[in-house]
Amino acid sequence: MEIKEGYMPFMGYQTYYRIVGKTEEGKSPIILLHGGPGSTHNYFELLDRVAESGRAVIMYDQLGCGNSFVEGHPELWTPEIWLNELCALIDYLHIDHFHLLGQSWGGMLAIIYLIEKQAKGVKSAILSSTLSSSKLWASEQHRMIKFMSEEDQRAIAEAEAKDDFSSEAYAKANEHFMLLHCAGEVTEDSPECLRRKKRAGAEAYLHGWGPNEYTPTGTLRDYDYTDRLGEIQVPCLVMSGTNDLCTPLVAKTLYDGISDSKWHLFVGARHMPFVEQNDEYCKVLEEWMEEKEGK
Distance CA 93, CA 17 (A): 10
Residue 139 catalytic?
no
Set 28, 39, 68, 104: catalytic member: 104
Set 34, 99, 207, 271: catalytic member: 271
Set 28, 61, 152, 244: catalytic member: 244
Beta strand 13-20 pairing with 57-60: antiparallel
Residue 39 catalytic?
no
Distance CA 20, CA 170 (A): 40
Other residues' Cβ atoms within 10 Å of the Cβ of residue 40:
26
Residue 129 catalytic?
no
**Edge to edge, what strands does the sheet with 98-103 contain?**
3-10, 13-20, 57-60, 30-33, 98-103, 122-128, 236-241, 261-266
Distance CA 260, CA 258 (A): 6
Which amino acids are annotated catalytic?
104, 244, 271
